Structures are given as structure tokens and as C-alpha cells.
Amino acid sequence: MSKLQRLYDEFGQSIWLDFISRDIIASGQFQELIDAGLRGVTSNPSIFNKAISGSSLYDEDIVRLAGEGADAFKIYDVLSQADITAACDTLLPLYEASNRGDGYVSIEVNPDLAYDTEGTIAEAKRLWQAIHRPNLMIKVPATQEGIPAIRHLIAEGINVNATLMFSLSHYEAVAYAFIEGLEARAARGDDLSHVASVASFFVSRIDTAVDKALAAVGNQELQGKIAVANAKLAYDRFKVVFGDARWQALADQGAQLQRPLWASTSTKNPAYSDVLYVENLIGPHTVNTLPLKTIEAFVDHGQLARTVDEGVEEARAQIAKLAELGIDFEKITEDLQTAGVKAFAKDFHTLLVTIAQRAGSITKA
């Protein structure tokens, strides 16, 4: 049995691939990963930028669509939906076999809408209807404007991957938006069992930012530890939120847990283990979304053990120590969310430029 399968069978953690492209689907590698225990896929504007910019498999469609008068956004829209649909169809047997527990594929709303509640809702509904797959998830950033959008979409029965969370306040807002959305459905007598959601909590970027602040005050002891500590506290909060009577009332009506999803789990600092953010966050009712390189590293030398709820009080003390050192952790997490939105928007617009340029150069050639 593969390590990916053992993570699920023995520890209750699902591994999703943090990448999608026509190449990986067409080559059969995607199906091989599923056979080895992969249980889902996530995407974002940065991933599509890498996928489309780095492959010639999209060129024929780019030429055709450009010839039909499609602009760069329309071309992106068609290409991304085609990849997402193909991935959804490939994962549908797992979705059905797991009783809707896994087999999901995520696509993000236009990042330009991150601070536009109504625009996010409209775009999410458009994508949901266009792709029309039960195992699709729409990614919505957990900005102040994104939270009511998440609540509305859950109430409408649309699966949501709430993304770009860096703090416990981000997590709590998302968790309760999910619960409130389900309560609205329940009040109308609508089915709850088909509505799925994950809460994507970003990890490695925390260390990237906090390590700089720690270095500035001369502290080495906490470097490389705060990201895992922060995620462990989020998991601890997850157990509280989804362990009370309010949630149980929804679970009794068939509602699925909104699982924490560890995102940004490739190691950015080469001085740290390349499986740091995998080995230390293993536990039940969680998802870890990994790029292919990190999956390969974990399969090669990762250790299997339940770790996500170990050392919680130590983690709490480590976070508290930041304030003693004069480091404003809440500000860092808010800045990281803002930077994340900007980065996705930048990659999205870079991709649109690339598509436009490629359409022109291919057509001329």
C-alpha cells in the first residue's frame, strides 16, 4: 500500500494535488497518482499560468478560439474549464466511492473579484453552472468581502474551497460562514448532504514572513516553527467549532464536515526539511494539498505518524512568544492575505498577456 493511501486509511488525511495541466491528464500520470492514493486536485491562477505558459498542448485551442474572436480572458476561461472538467470526470469514481468525501477539483474565481462580494457570487455561480460537475469546488478567498460570498454560496448548495486563510480569525470567519450557510439551507428544508467545503489554511508563507521578523529581533529559536504552530492551533479550533451542539444539529441532518486543508505546504526555505509541512500536520479530517515534487519527496522519505494535535500547548506558547518579542503576528497574517490576493491577480494578468501574445504569434506563424 502506498504512503498516500496509508495517510488516508490509517490517519484520515487526504492528499490532493496542488497542480493541474492538460499534460498531466493526457499522459496518464494523473490517473496513476489517483491509483496510488491521490484524492483530489486544487488549482489557482498561478497554477494555470504555469500550466498554459509551459505547454504547447493548448496552442491549437488558442489559435481556434482566437480565430473565432475570443479575447484572452475568454480563451483562458475555455481552457481552464476544460482542464477542470477533465479532472472532475477522472475523479468522479472516487467521489462516488467515497460517498462524496473526496474526489474534488477546485477552480478559483477571478482574483480581481477578491474584494467584491456580489461579483464573487456571480462568478462562482457562473463557473458552477458552466462546469456542472458535482465534485467541483469553487475557490473563494477569505477576505472580508469573501466571507458573505462563502455563506451565500453554501446556502445555494455550491461546494466551496475557502482559500487564503493565514490566521485563526480568518479560519473562524470561514467556519461559521459555512455553518450559517448550511443553517439557511436547513431552514428551507434543503438537502445538506451534497454540500462540501474545505477551509484552506496557508502554511509555509507564514514561516517565510515570520522568520524575517524573528531574524530582525535576533531570535533563532522560533524560526521554522511558527507556521506549523499556527496550523495546529487552527486544527484545535476546528475540533471545537465542529464538536459542539450547533454543528451536531446539522450533522444529524446529513451535513459534511468542512475539513481544514493545509495549503502552501511546499518548503520555501532550503534549510528546512522538504516534508516539514507534511510530516507535522498529519491527522484525521484533514486535507494536505501538495505539488508533485513534494508528493514525490514524501513518498520517498516522509514519516507517517499522527502529529497535527501533538504539542498544541507548546504551539500556543510559541505564538504568544511573538508578542513578547514585539512581533505583530496578526498584522503579518493580514499582510500575507493581501499579498496573496495581489500575487494571484498578478499571475492571472500575466497569463492573459501570455495567451494574447501566443495567439498572435501562433496565428502569424
Which residues are marked as active site?
139
Whole-number Cα distances in Å, 248 to 218, 241, 242, 253: 46, 10, 8, 9
Cα 269–274–277 angle (5° rounding)?
A: 90
Contact between residue 116 and residue 345 where contact means Cβ atoms under 8 Å apart: no
- DSSP structure class, residue 275: T
Contact between residue 8 and residue 14 where contact means Cβ atoms under 8 Å apart: yes
Classify the C-alpha dihedral 7-12-13-14 as positive or negative.
positive
Place of cell 462563502: 150
Distance CA 336, CA 340 (A): 6
Amino acid at the residue 84: I
All three cell numbers of 116: 467584491
All three cell numbers of 113: 473579484
Contact between residue 106 and residue 261 where contact means Cβ atoms under 8 Å apart: no
Q: What is the dihedral of CA 318, 320, 326, 332, to 10 degrees?
A: 80
Q: Which residues contact 331 (CB under 8 A, 6 or more apart)?
A: none
Distance CA 88, CA 131 (A): 9
> For residue 75, what is the enclosing H or E element?
helix 72-97
Contact between residue 200 and residue 311 where contact means Cβ atoms under 8 Å apart: no
Distance CA 361, CA 318 (A): 54
List the one residue out of 201, 343, 318 whose CA is nearest residue 259: 201
All three cell numbers of 58: 493548448
